[in-house]
Amino acid sequence: MSKQDFRSGYVAFIGRPNAGKSTLLNRLVGEKIAAVSNKPQTTRHKIQGIVSREDGQIVFVDTPGVHKPGHLLNRRMMAAVHDAILNVDLIVLMRDASVSTGNGDRFVFELVKDSGKPALLVLNKIDKIKAKSDLLPLIDGYSGEHEFAEIIPISALKGDAIDILLTQIVKHLPVGDPIFGEDEMTDQPLRSIAAEMVREKILASTGEEIPYVTAVVPEVWDDSDPEITRIFCAIYVERASQKKIVIGKGGSRIKDVGTKARIDIEKLIGKKVFLKLFVKVVEDWRNRERDLDEMGVRQ
């Protein structure tokens, strides 16, 4: 590959909550760097994942799912979406193809249209569509919505059509030098990824309001022992009753969350981990500038 043919650029994943944006990011990067869950609003800030290939380098920007903002937290989340749209070379609009189109989707289509940026439409979760012939009318319908550069059905979970997607993405990027080093994977500090792994396990094991009122802040990261990394994370909730739920009967839930998160973090850093979790009640943290800053939910 000659230097003149090498392409590089930023690509944002934009879509409704639960479309599978973070699942795709993890799949493309080949490491778990973003939390994934079946609860909406899992991703709260921009996460970059870097893919280096022979023909190009792509910096993927995972963003929070597009939703109506209620708290300051949600307003910051939506600001991250707008910021990503403004600053990328290409948009990947992602839809869960197994559910029907609603008003929320139309809002996302408009966002992408208004940006004037080139966009690919990714129809995700095709593993859930039994009759593949159902895909054609879907693709037809969407091509009437907007002039997408491509419409690509994939399964982020199973890894179907991921290579096709990557090749198409590179094709639509500008010619240019790599932006990051070849072996760089993400802009996220390890401690933020670790905190996200803890939050992911809490999301997986709770329902109702707990996923929305929970945040995880890494407070201590001690690498002084070459054998083991000691990590202390605070789990924020808003009320004492929620603290009880997160801790679980006799501490069973927080113990289970800790064990599962520790396994993910050990895989990530390639070292033994001691993980200590504790719960803090901070009323209305979702509307408090300082708490959000500390949690890394950036302006």
Ligand X SMILES: Nc1nc2c(ncn2[C@@H]2O[C@H](COP(=O)(O)OP(=O)(O)OP(=O)(O)O)[C@@H](O)[C@H]2O)c(=O)[nH]1
Residue 262's binding partner among Mg ion, ligand X, none (Cβ under 5 to 8 angstroms by kind) is none
Site string for ligand X, 264-283 (x = CB under 6 A): --------------------
Residue with Cβ nearer ligand X (42 or 242): 42
Q: Give the helix/strand (H/E) hosting 294.
A: helix 289-295
Residue with Cβ nearer ligand X (7 or 286): 286
Examine residue 130 and tell whether it contacts ligand X (CB under 6 A): no
CB 178 within 8 A of CB 6: yes
**Least distance in angstroms from the C-beta of 36 to Mg ion:** 7
Residue 124's binding partner among Mg ion, ligand X, none (Cβ under 5 to 8 angstroms by kind) is ligand X
**Least distance in angstroms from the C-beta of 253 to ligand X:** 20
**Least distance in angstroms from the C-beta of 163 to ligand X:** 15
Handedness of CA 47, 51, 57, 60 (dihedral sign): negative
Residue 104's binding partner among Mg ion, ligand X, none (Cβ under 5 to 8 angstroms by kind) is none
**Least distance in angstroms from the C-beta of 3 to ligand X:** 35
Site string for ligand X, 19-58 (x = CB under 6 A): xxxxx------------xxx-xxxx---------------
Q: What are phi and psi of 155, to 5 degrees?
A: -125, 110
Query: Residues 213-251, buried b or exposed e (16+ Cβ, 10 A)?
Result: bbbbbbeeeeeeeeeebebebbbbbbeeebbebbbeeee
**Least distance in angstroms from the C-beta of 294 to ligand X:** 21
Q: How far from 183 is each of 9, 29, 53, 57, 81, CA to CA, in Å?
A: 16, 11, 11, 11, 27
**Least distance in angstroms from the C-beta of 86 to ligand X:** 19
Residue with Cβ nearer ligand X (40 or 118): 40
Task: Please give the residue ranges that form the binding site for Mg ion (CB under 5 A).
Answer: 21-22, 42-43
**Closest by Cα among 7, 27, 48, 40 to 122:** 27
Cα separation of 120 and 67, whole Å?
21
Neighbours of 99 (CB within 10 A): 13
Q: Which two tokens stand for residue 139?
A: 């693709």
Residues within the interface to ligand X (CB under 6 A): 15, 17-23, 36-38, 40-43, 64-65, 124-125, 127-128, 155-157
